[in-house]
Amino acid sequence: MKKTILHNVGIVILMCIGGFQLSAQPEAPTGKKWEVVSALTDEFNTWDGTKWYKEMWDYGNTPVHMVKENAYVENGNLIIAATKNPDETSAQWMLSSRVASRGYRVKYPMYTECKMKANSISSYSTYWLNNGNESGRDEVDMCESNANPSWPGKEDMAYTLHSQYFIVENNVTERNNGNWDNHQLSEDNPLRGVHWDEAYHTIGVWLIDAHNVQFYLNGEKAGKVTSIKPFTLQMRIIWDVWTQNAAWVGGLPQPEELLDETKNKMYVDWVHTYDLVDDPTNDVEEEVASELKLYPNPAQNSVNVELPSEPVAGAQLKIYSTTGSVVKSIDILQTSINFSVDDLPEGYYVIQVINGDDTFIQRLVK
């Protein structure tokens, strides 16, 4: 059985049929490691009421009324639909829903991310953290994505990751945003410049400490915020769909769009959440991994790799982009390797060395 040895990996690599799936989980600090929080991790193959519940909410002067039946699991996705209220006399002509985590909650130092696709109507498809109310709360919004804004001049919202935080104490609000346009993704990222409803996007947040929050998008850093007041509360994970006739939301959808099932649904393929815990000092694989040397890192023109043992027949080195594509493959014939990275754009990469039964993985920055 092959053994995978990780050494200071800044990107999680998940083995799956057909290759690699890369997500943006950040590098764990020295002496720490990421541990899956099962209560906040789900592939959404079925509805799990032990992890999630449907929290209904109607906000101020909006046309939205939330109902439980508009949130459900189907075909491996959590779906939140925006539909037309059959009550023609109601001012709340859009029915929607909200799903929140039950029990275990998110508090620094933690990392959570989900793979999601926004609906195609003028509304917010959201993924956020919250605990509290208008007069007192901690809140971190990973995204409030509007893929099809109806408000004039707001076309850029189809690309903007509306990420921000609120810390409210005794009705006094501290707020800052880390808004980030997905055109800022690296040139080799296939989701660069793609609307939120045209493909699934992986959105994550690392609550680093009581003041620092780092956002991620499709395997890359996507804005950071630093608070003045500390985050003190454990927060629930929340997804919902809502809208309002305001420029900052993007405007209202057309009521007839709520009847179009190809447009009115937000999809969440999965959510993965991790605690940062102590890394055991007697981790044998970590000791072995330290014998694989890669330098300089960050690199400019070329990289040196030194294996801890002689290569066997078929030994290979592969370089993966943050999207999971193989950008370079090299046969290994000796313990010391030197290769050029002049042809690679600046950014983050994953180096994989396969030598017999051992697989070494490290992050490379150019």
Residue from 120, 122, 139 nearest 130 by CA:
139
Query: Distance between CA atoms of 244 and 209, rounded to whole angstroms?
Result: 33
CA dist list (Å): 286 to 271, 283, 303, 307: 27, 5, 22, 15
- Can you read off the two tokens belonging to residue 165? 């935080």
- Look at residue 59 in the predicted model and tell me its pLDDT: 74
Structure confidence at residue 1 (pLDDT): 40
Q: Which fold has domain 3-9+284-365?
A: Immunoglobulin-like (2.60.40)
Is residue 2 pLDDT above 70, yes or no? Answer: no
pLDDT tens, position by position, 149-158:
999 999 999 9
Q: Is the pLDDT of residue 36 over 50?
A: yes
Instruction: Give the phi and the psi of residue 113 in degrees, each rounded to 5.
Output: -150, 155
* pLDDT (average), residues 85-95: 93
pLDDT tens digits, residue range 189-233?
889 999 999 999 999 999 999 999 999 999 899 999 999 899 999
The full set of domain ranges for the chain reads 3-9+284-365, 32-278
List the single range of 65-69, 285-289, 343-347 with lowest mean pLDDT.
Answer: 285-289
| Percentage of the residues of the chain whose pLDDT score is greater than 90 | 66
More confident residue, 356 or 3: 356
Instruction: Give residue 125's pLDDT.
Output: 98
Average pLDDT for residues 23-44, to the nearest whole number? 86
Dihedral over alpha carbons 323, 325, 330, 331 (to 10 degrees): 120
One-letter identity of residue 293:
K
What is the average per-residue pLDDT within 22-50? 87
5 compared with 196, residue with greater pLDDT: 196
**Average pLDDT in the 124-138 region?**
94
- pLDDT tens digits, one per residue of 175-187: 988 889 999 999 8
pLDDT at 324 over 80: no
Question: What's the pLDDT tens digit per position in 309-318?
Answer: 899 999 999 9
What confidence tens digit (pLDDT) does each residue in 52-81 have?
999 998 877 899 999 999 999 999 999 999
15, pLDDT greater than 90 = no
- Range of weakest confidence among 18-27, 91-100, 274-283: 18-27
Q: Which tokens is 16 given?
A: 């799956």
- Band of the pLDDT at 12, cuts 50, 70, 90? very low
Topology, domain 32-278:
Jelly Rolls (2.60.120)
**Better pLDDT: 64 or 17:** 64
Residue range 284-290: average pLDDT? 41
Give the mean pLDDT of the chain: 87
DSSP label of 42 = B
Rounded to a whole number of angstroms, the distance between the first and last alpha carbons of the chain is 33
The answer on pLDDT for 19 being more than 80 is no
Q: Can you give the pLDDT at residue 305?
A: 94
Q: Report residue 285's pLDDT band, with 50, 70 and 90 as the boundaries.
A: very low
Please state, in angstroms and rounded to a whole number, the distance separating the CA atoms of residues 243 and 170: 27
Comparison of pLDDT for 124 and 58, the residue scoring more: 124
Report the SS3 class of residue 9. Answer: coil
6 vs 346 pLDDT, higher one:
346
Domains 3-9+284-365 and 32-278 share a fold: no
Residue 87 banded pLDDT, cuts 50, 70, 90 = very high
| Model pTM score | 0.73
Catalytic residues: 139, 144
